[in-house]
Structure 1
Amino acid sequence: MSPPGRWRALLLAAVAACAACGIIYELALLTLSASLNGGGIVATSLIVAGYIAALGAGALLAKPLLAHAAIAFIAVEAALGIVGGLSAAALYVVFAFLDGSVGSTWVLAAGTALIGGLVGAEVPLLMTLLQRGRTAGPSDAGRTLANLNAADYLGALLGGLVWPFLLLPHLGMIRGAAATGIVNLAAAAVVSLFLLRRVVSPRQLATALCALTAALAVLATLLVRSADIETTSRQRLYADPIVAYRHTPYQEIVVTRRGNDMRLYLDGGLQFSTRDEYRYTESLVYPALGGEVKGARSVLVLGGGDGLAARELLRQPGVAKIVQVELDPAVIDLARTTMRDANGGALDDPRVKIVIGDAMTWLRGAPDRFDAVIVDLPDPDTPTLGRLYSTEFYALAAHALAPGGLMVVQAGSPFSTPTAFWRTISTVRAAGYAVTPYHVHVPTFGDWGFALAQRADTAPIPTMPPGAPPLRFLNQQVLAAATVFSGDIGPRTLEPSTLDNPRVVDDMRRGYY
């Protein structure tokens, strides 16, 4: 290959590497935003649209730099490496130490604008470099642009694959972004040393290499110290000491403990406290076992990976088979280790079969029917969870329910999120069930509600199952009273939530109103 050909090939390789880094920075910010603030269609749309707009702004702002394209390109790559590499850490620290979602939103907006602007400036600078006499003549502009776009788009594809399959699972968001910044700076250094040394002056080259080295040192320090930064920042978000932490492709899992009080958080949302989880768990489980199928023997649990529902089911005489469908294997692992005292080792009982998979996907091919179905899923505050609170989901669940069997759905708080609660009740009804809503007081959560449903013309009457063991909270009197709702949280008839229009997600985000 001729020297101009090698020059061009190396520069296009640098284009691909920088494009991969740019898309990874944006994916890191999107992922962390979803983890900290819940993400959502509106937030994601604004971030993506803002990033694309920043690309255009960056291209325009690069015009005055075209006369010095070589040194400007190195400066842009140095800035992009340091801004992108530090972006996830900055977002996390601001969320933990400052005004939570408000501060992190400003950091997210600023990071998106800066990264998009710097990535946008790359294209005109690279186009100028590639069109110089050393690389291509002016008449080859179309071919040059095609090569540049191909390298840019292929690099973006590479970044889009590397983030979810390599960086995020193995390094996490903060270290993954820092590692990407190091790659970005290394690509800029290669361009400086091998491609631009004859284009810029020795002084300019030395200055550029010093800047790149300093930026590399900052990111290398972040890479080494990221665990300390994450641990300190994360602990700021929780009142009690953290005893276990996992960041999985699905969520952030945190378990805290203070004395005898153990708490599970998924993406920052409290799932249970051992101080009072028995009130929630008993109210979730036992009404599902009191239907026409007396002495239910088989139960399907969708979600509930903490093992608390399985613990109560195993206490009920006659239950011989429990199928537990949980998306995240890390939750099951923690349930079997850190949370074992809370669930009594229920998930290791031979009567419990663990299925790792998406509940909706599993229901489409459910091989059996069950005497009872318990839907114990996190609140639908994201579109991913919203699909599990849709008419389509509950219709699929009906295929797994034996004739005369009952289904119980945790439906959120009729006081804190009343529209989301009654939306869930209306959605279950729209899927062809007769529904009885009920609610209990769980001190950690406040007023908490459930839907008791069956495939019949008349709504089921909540009753305790025959042979139920003595419980700490629930009995027939409490269960009967739980079906009464005061005027301020009284019934509403709402449009159902569907896959096409996940209304319940917006309801959850609005909360009180």
Structure 2
Amino acid sequence: MTAALAEPRATTRWRAVLLAAVAACAACGIVYELALLTLSTSLNGGGIVETSLIVAGYIAALGLGALLVKPLLAHAAVTFIAVETLLGIIGGLSAAALYVAFAFVDGSTWVLGLGTALIGGLVGAEVPLLMTLLQRGQVAGATDTGRTLANLNAADYLGALVGGLVWPFILLPHLGMIRGSAATGMVNLVAAAVVAVFLLRHSVSGRQLAAALCALAAALALLVTLLVRAQDIETTSRQRLYADPIIAYRHSAYQEIVVTRRGNDLRLYLDGGLQFSTRDEYRYTESLVYPALGDGARSVLVLGGGDGLAARELLRQPGVESVQQVELDPVVIELARTTMREANGGSLDNPHVNVVIGDAMDWLRRADVPSGGFDAVIVDLPDPDTPVLGRLYSTEFYALVANALAPGGLMVVQAGSPFSTRAAFWRAVSTIRSAGYAVTPYHVHVPTFGDWGFVLARRGDVAPKPTVPADAPPLRFLDQRVLDAATVFADDVRPRPMQPSTLDNPRIVDDMRHGYD
């Protein structure tokens, strides 16, 4: 083989390696951004404002990084290795830093902003450097430049696709946020090492190449240590967020789930928000379930309520023959059947309860509703503090529920606190009314929650009167006197006329963000 033929083949080989590195780095870049978005959701609620700021800030940082790297293009190979080393370290440590900051100093917001800016800037510096490297040694015309850019973009976008699939289906469910980010940083460093071996060995001295590889090895060792110790860091940081010892933790595809126990007090938290405490959950559960049963409900649909507490009470009520339970998160069901089994009495394993895993709105659109519909529907969903949950507090959602209700059947909705989130509560009332229901709001005191509200509704023009079924089992809190008083609202939480929340305009999410006003 002549030297003239060998040179183009060698050039082709290193360019192929470089394009592979482009794809790997692009995959890492998109994983870092998705990790920041996931952390924003888990730690700060991840509303539309926070999500928009992260995405917009990341894109702006991409452009800034591309501009700042221009003076270093004359040393593209060395600069690229430095950029990838920094990106591997910062990206790999970002999740751990954000989690620790949130737990110990309540500084997760500024860490999130700084991490977004740094990672976006470094990723933005990659493309000009890679373009320079791919054209090295060429006298490029317009066509050759176009081909080079096409190859670069193809590798970049393909890598982004791979990263976008790897994060939700492999890294997050199997490694979690901290170890998933650390593993991604390690991939970044390995890609940088491969590029260093192929590109730097002919342009720098052996000592300089060894120094670069040692720096990469040191960074890799740091991330390996983080990967090994991530469980300790996460456990220590997480426990600091909760007053009681954590006995179970899961990070599902939808949320962070924590169960704590101190003595006889078992508590469930979803994304940091308290869902129930066994000290007083009976007040909430009895107030949610029994007013919906009227007199003689036989079939009941429960939307949400994956902890099994509503199903527990329904099984106590004489005459209830079947309970259809629809819960989005299978991990919540798993914990309800194990860790929380004592609290719910094993209700989800009762043969009269049929558990379906699925989104409540999708299930309502496709469900095979029993002939005549359900006698009662209990909507026990988390507060609508994200757009995903806001759609389950929309006019369209309650219209779908109406299709599943038997004529004269009752629906009850947990609607949050009329004191702490007054606008959101009365927004829920107005939204249910806009779907064609006559409504009766009521509220009770639950010590761990404070003043908590519900909405009882029936299709038509006659508002239902909340009543305790005549054949109800012995209850610890609810009776007719309490329920009658629950429909009275003092002047500081008086009814407010509100526009409904819809899929097109989920006003209730913004209400939750503002809290009490």
Q: TM-score range by the shorter chain?
A: over 0.9
Shift of 1:145: 1.1
Distance, in Å, in 2 between the alignment partners of 1:58 and 1:180 is 20
8 A Cα contact 1:311 1:346, kept in partner = yes
Q: Which residue of 2 aligns with 1:339?
A: 340
- Give secondary structure in 2 for the equivalent of 1:197: helix
Query: 2:237 pairs with 233, 249, 273, which one?
Result: 233
The alignment status of 1:17 with 2:21, answered yes or no, reads no
Distance, in Å, in 1 between the alignment partners of 2:51 and 2:39 is 12
8 A Cα contact 2:292 2:376, kept in partner = yes
Query: 2:407 pairs with 403, 409, 416, which one?
Result: 403
The alignment status of 1:188 with 2:189, answered yes or no, reads no
Q: Which residue of 2 aligns with 1:314?
A: 315
The alignment status of 1:166 with 2:170, answered yes or no, reads yes
Q: Which residue of 2 aligns with 1:421?
A: 425
Distance, in Å, in 1 between the alignment partners of 2:205 and 2:436 is 76
The alignment status of 1:490 with 2:491, answered yes or no, reads no
Query: 2:258 pairs with 254, 261, 270, which one?
Result: 254
- Give secondary structure in 2 for the equivalent of 1:392: helix
Give the AA of the match of 2:102. Answer: F
Tell me the alpha carbon deviations over residues 401-440 of structure 1, each in whole angstroms, 9 at most, x when there is no partner: 0001100000000000000000000000001100000000
Query: 1:87 pairs with 91, 94, 108, which one?
Result: 94
Query: 1:465 pairs with 464, 469, 475, which one?
Result: 469
Q: Which residue of 1 aligns with 2:65?
A: 58
Query: 1:129 pairs with 105, 117, 133, which one?
Result: 133
The alignment status of 1:47 with 2:48, answered yes or no, reads no
Distance, in Å, in 2 between the alignment partners of 1:466 and 1:14 is 71
Tell me the alpha carbon deviations over residues 204-229 of structure 1, each in whole angstroms, 9 at most, x when there is no partner: 21121111001000000000000000
Shift of 1:366: 2.0
Distance, in Å, in 2 between the alignment partners of 1:43 and 1:25 is 16
Query: Pairwise mapping of residues 469-484 of structure 1 onto structure 2 (< 5 A)?
Result: 469-484=473-488
Query: Pairwise mapping of residues 323-362 of structure 1 onto structure 2 (< 5 A)?
Result: 323-362=324-363
Distance, in Å, in 2 between the alignment partners of 1:74 and 1:260 is 56
Shift of 1:470: 1.3
8 A Cα contact 1:71 1:204, kept in partner = no
- Give secondary structure in 2 for the equivalent of 1:380: coil
Give the AA of the match of 1:18. Answer: C
Tell me the alpha carbon deviations over residues 115-147 of structure 1, each in whole angstroms, 9 at most, x when there is no partner: 0100111111111111111xx432221211111
8 A Cα contact 2:260 2:267, kept in partner = yes
Q: Which residue of 1 aligns with 2:3?
A: none
| Paired-residue identity, % | 82
Distance, in Å, in 2 between the alignment partners of 1:401 and 1:161 is 39
Moved more, 367-376 or 192-201: 192-201
Query: 1:69 pairs with 67, 76, 79, which one?
Result: 76
Query: 1:243 pairs with 237, 247, 260, which one?
Result: 247
8 A Cα contact 2:77 2:199, kept in partner = no
- Give secondary structure in 2 for the equivalent of 1:185: helix
Distance, in Å, in 1 between the alignment partners of 2:129 and 2:211 is 19
8 A Cα contact 2:417 2:452, kept in partner = yes
Shift of 1:308: 0.3
8 A Cα contact 1:70 1:200, kept in partner = no
Tell me the alpha carbon deviations over residues 63-97 of structure 1, each in whole angstroms, 9 at most, x when there is no partner: 11111111100000000000000001100000000
Unmatched 5+ stretches in structure 1: none
Distance, in Å, in 2 between the alignment partners of 1:241 and 1:444 is 17
Q: Which residue of 2 aligns with 1:37?
A: 44
- Give secondary structure in 2 for the equivalent of 1:2: helix
Tell me the alpha carbon deviations over residues 178-223 of structure 1, each in whole angstroms, 9 at most, x when there is no partner: 0000000000001111233112222221121111001000000000
The alignment status of 1:217 with 2:221, answered yes or no, reads yes
Distance, in Å, in 2 between the alignment partners of 1:425 and 1:323 is 25
Distance, in Å, in 2 between the alignment partners of 1:367 and 1:7 is 59
Query: 2:287 pairs with 283, 287, 311, which one?
Result: 283
The alignment status of 1:304 with 2:305, answered yes or no, reads yes
Q: TM-score, normalised by structure 2?
A: 0.97
Query: Pairwise mapping of residues 137-176 of structure 1 onto structure 2 (< 5 A)?
Result: 137-139=139-141, 140-176=144-180
Distance, in Å, in 1 between the alignment partners of 2:73 and 2:485 is 75
8 A Cα contact 1:323 1:352, kept in partner = yes
Q: How many residues align?
A: 505
**Cα root mean square deviation, aligned:** 0.8
Distance, in Å, in 1 between the alignment partners of 2:209 and 2:94 is 27
The alignment status of 1:269 with 2:273, answered yes or no, reads yes
- Give secondary structure in 2 for the equivalent of 1:408: strand
Unmatched 5+ stretches in structure 2: 1-7
8 A Cα contact 1:92 1:104, kept in partner = yes
Distance, in Å, in 1 between the alignment partners of 2:133 and 2:296 is 77
Distance, in Å, in 1 between the alignment partners of 2:495 and 2:364 is 29
Query: 1:455 pairs with 436, 439, 459, which one?
Result: 459
- Give secondary structure in 1 for the equivalent of 2:201: coil
Distance, in Å, in 2 between the alignment partners of 1:184 and 1:274 is 46
Distance, in Å, in 1 between the alignment partners of 2:133 and 2:315 is 70
